[in-house]
Structure 1
Amino acid sequence: MQKLSDSELKIMEILWREKSFTAKDIAAELSNTIGWDKTTTYTMLRRCVKKNLITRKEPNFICEPSISKEQVSSYETKELIDKMYNGKVGNLVAFLLNDIDIADEEIARVKEIINDLDE
């Protein structure tokens, strides 16, 4: 899998939410939300098709995601851990717990996840 650009991610977010959407509807939504013109959207859609991120069906240039949000999340998280934390999850967790204000319920959830790993 390749890293997704921010623009590709905007398109994928729509498709993960809608499951299937015409290029025209995607262009309308992106025009309303972030000001893209139709040409920009169609260029990005073609790039996504070429990268096998979405599949295109006819008629009406219907787009469907070829990859799941979970696949992208997993890939991006592993890339972040490798790049910023020397490939060590512990370094990421230490950063989060020491440098970011975390609510008590989130800390409890992290402890629960760690305990579940031990079982």
Structure 2
Amino acid sequence: MQPNQPLTLADHRLLDLVWPNQPLPSGRLCQIAQEQLGWKRTTTYTVLKRLCDKGYLKNEASVVTALVDRATVQRADGQEVLQRSFQGSLPSFLAAFLQAGTVSDQEAEEIAQMLDNYRHSH
């Protein structure tokens, strides 16, 4: 499944709890959310329902599982940021980071390696 609805910060936070713990009972998810996020049970169930309605999670027989993996969500988020803030331009996106001086030498090397790998695989 490809995500087609944007996620809120709360959506992301709950997904980050589900992915490493799934499948898990919804009651246990509420406990984890309380411990790690300070959420009340009602907040967790509200966000859980929203993620189920959006097609990201399934809550069947009170057991929660993800319908979308982390990598798929990250790709969709990246595309959304590119479109919203950089008119779809990856070079503009990278230039913003480079101009801010927030890319380490190691990260620059990793990016160069990714580009080399991409060029050789396409």
TM-score by length of 2: 0.88
Query: After the TM superposition, which parts of structure 1 deviate over 4 Å for at least 4 consecutive aligned residues?
Result: none
- 3-state SS, counterpart of residue 49 of structure 2: helix
Percent identical: 17
Q: How does 1:53-68 map to 2 (within 5 A)?
A: 53-58=56-61, 61-68=62-69
- 3-state SS, counterpart of residue 80 of structure 1: helix
- Return 5+ residue gaps in structure 2 as ranges: none
Query: 1:37 offset after TM fit, Å?
Result: 1.0
Q: State the superposition RMSD in angstroms.
A: 1.3
Q: Which amino acid aligns with 1:98?
A: Q
Where does residue 52 of structure 1 map in the other structure? 55
Q: How does 1:3-42 map to 2 (within 5 A)?
A: 3-42=6-45
Q: Structure 1 residue 87 and structure 2 residue 100: aligned?
A: no
- Return 5+ residue gaps in structure 1 as ranges: none
Where does residue 108 of structure 1 map in the other structure? 109
- State the Cα deviation string for residues 28-59 of structure 1 (Å, max 9, x = none): 1111122211111112212222221111221x
Paired residue total: 117
Alpha carbons of 1:90 and 1:40: their partners in 2 closer, same or farther (altered >3 Å)?
Answer: same
TM-score by length of 1: 0.90
